[in-house]
Structure 1
Amino acid sequence: MPVEEQQPVASVWTRPQRRREQPALSRAQIVAVALELLDTEGIEALSMRKLGARLDAGATSLYRHVANKDELLELVVDEVYGQIEVPDIWGRDWRTAVTGCAGSARAVLLRHPWVASVLGQVGLSYLGPNVMRLNERMLALFEAAGFDLPEADRALGTVMAYVIGTATTEAAWLTTLTRSGRTEQEWLNTLRPAAIEATKPYPRLHALATAEQQAEEEREDAFHYGLARVLDGLAARLA
């Protein structure tokens, strides 16, 4: 099919927006309520019908802004990415700045645990304005470190893959905890006797199982350990 005849990929970012005088609902209102619904009830609860009920609006009002639930998710995911902070490179070294951004991204993903489960399903989410601003500023950090633009792009992808992968596992774990009604430390203390018994034939695992652990601190330390090793590898490339 000739290029001029190809249909654009379906996405809220590629579809021409309808213009209306003083619409009853704004896109910002829809996104804010959808985000609240997702945070409180999870991805399974999201539907255009349920969202319309929360907004006290009919489906027609919603469809003036989004064609379907997939487009709605693109908007909400971009809104979440807008909460990630990218420190200014000036006055600090690149590793400190990247570590700050990675920590902010992890905190945002854990604050909205449903996001990790849909990142591969939200169409052209990378075209959202918040995602593009985030990527632009992160690329600037890696360029300031000494990477040329193509390798800065690879470095950015590597760091974000680590952050998203780690946060996905953490988000799933924290969601399980929320459903159980227990705190993280309570769950760990409940499992510990069984883990100690099960690992007796395995001295290395047993040593780890019998060590005193503070659950939240362990996750925090593990995240920063892995991130530091990723940045060590990138620093070696610069050297």
Structure 2
Amino acid sequence: MCGSHFQRLIVYFLFRIRCIHKLFLSTNPIPRQAGKQTNGDSVGGTTGASRKRSCWAYNLRMTEDLKCQAVPGSPRWWTNRAPRVEKSAGRGRPSVSVERIVATALEAVDEVGAQAFNMRMLAERLGSGTATLYRHFASKDEILIYVVDSVLGELLADQPEAVELVPQGQGSEGYSWQKACASGAERLYGVLRRHPGILPLLVSQIPIGPNGLKRREQGIALFLANGFPAELAARAYTSVAHYVLGFAIQQHSSASSEAAEGEELVEFFAALDASEYPAIATAGRHLPGVSVEEEFRFGLKLIIDGLELAASAWRKADGC
């Protein structure tokens, strides 16, 4: 649970306790010397019943407000996201820009991972206090959302427009949509391997920040520009993106022991009983023998070839 939500829940429960206290007083009034009011009688113009209704109404309103709080990174959060007004940093403390905060946070995530990252760590790296961070972001989760979007921005920085929006056939630089798709997927894979710390964040959220949307727009536009129907274009984009992400996650989790296990697996497969495992005996020496890059490109080519067949079948079904 993010820090901002936790703070809101604390406030909510404090008010619930306050209302319970009021209800207790309404049903167990403190004896007064003058007036001797009984339960339900007016005390200061407010009856116990009216106080009870007021408390329940407030509880309901607080519950509805909590339900309406947008989760960082969600569509509602991005829709309502507005730059915070930068306040004066105070004496002796230079202001810290959002760009510097995000860049420093990315460095920290690259080193320690998203789970170990925290606001105090970031403040120390910036040579500032956590209060400076809260001028721009409500919680650690909000910063991590921007970190993910910043990483996706690296794709756009070195991505020629001509590669993404290729007309049907060959582009001006000899690019087909298949080559453009493969090139974009390999760049994404390279970025994810440079920043493996963000991989868990991409699993838990759909990146729809400014850079995430631009990347999604360019990817879908590539398929649409080459005759893919809208539904197939959307499926094609998500299939390629999910393949790249899944491959990056799997390789990151096993990268440290991959070489050693490869040699052991070859020996293990060779020692198996060929009569019981004839297929493994035949192909076992090839199973761990392919490099990560070759394996990635092989699977990517299978997906792209399949998309080409799917697009052709879709056009035939529509009579195109």
Which of 92, 97, 114 is the aligned partner of 1:26?
Answer: 97
Q: Say if 1:213 and 1:187 are closer, same or farther in 2 by CA, change over 3 A.
A: closer
Question: What does the per-residue CA deviation read over 1:69-105, in whole Å, with 9 as the maximum and x for residues that have no partner?
Answer: 1111110011111122543424321101000001111
Tell me which residue corresponds to 2:117: 46
Partners of 2:123 and 2:130 within 8 A in 1: yes
Query: Shift in Å at residue 165 of structure 1?
Result: 1.4
Which of 111, 119, 132 is the aligned partner of 2:202?
Answer: 119
Counterpart amino acid of 2:280? Answer: L
Establish whether residue 162 from structure 1 lines up as the match of residue 232 from structure 2.
no
Establish whether residue 234 from structure 1 lines up as the match of residue 307 from structure 2.
yes
Counterpart amino acid of 2:101? Answer: I
Higher alpha-carbon deviation: 8-17 or 39-48:
8-17
Partners of 1:78 and 1:131 within 8 A in 2: yes
Tell me which residue corresponds to 1:16: 82
Unaligned runs of 5+ in 1: none
CA distance in 2, matches of 1:118, 1:130: 15
CA distance in 2, matches of 1:190, 1:29: 46
Partners of 2:104 and 2:122 within 8 A in 1: yes
| SS at 2:225 equivalent | helix
Q: Say if 1:83 and 1:206 are closer, same or farther in 2 by CA, change over 3 A.
A: farther
Question: What does the per-residue CA deviation read over 1:12-63, in whole Å, with 9 as the maximum and x for residues that have no partner?
Answer: 6333322126761111111111111111222232011111111111111111
Counterpart amino acid of 1:50? Answer: M
Query: Shift in Å at residue 142 of structure 1?
Result: 0.5
Which of 25, 35, 60 is the aligned partner of 2:106?
Answer: 35
Q: Percent identity?
A: 32
Q: Say if 1:190 and 1:229 are closer, same or farther in 2 by CA, change over 3 A.
A: closer
Partners of 1:155 and 1:234 within 8 A in 2: yes
- Runs ≥4 residues deviating over 4 A: 198-201, 211-215
Which of 7, 19, 32 is the aligned partner of 2:68?
Answer: 7
Which of 225, 229, 254 is the aligned partner of 1:148?
Answer: 229
Unaligned runs of 5+ in 2: 1-64, 90-94, 313-320
Mapping for residues 33-182 of structure 1, pairs under 5 Å: 33-84=104-155, 86=159, 87-88=163-164, 89=166, 90-91=171-172, 92-122=175-205, 125-174=206-255, 177=256
Establish whether residue 202 from structure 1 lines up as the match of residue 277 from structure 2.
yes
**TM-score of the pair, normalised by structure 1:** 0.82
Q: Say if 1:229 and 1:25 are closer, same or farther in 2 by CA, change over 3 A.
A: same
Partners of 2:105 and 2:147 within 8 A in 1: yes
**TM-score of the pair, normalised by structure 2:** 0.63
Tell me which residue corresponds to 2:48: none
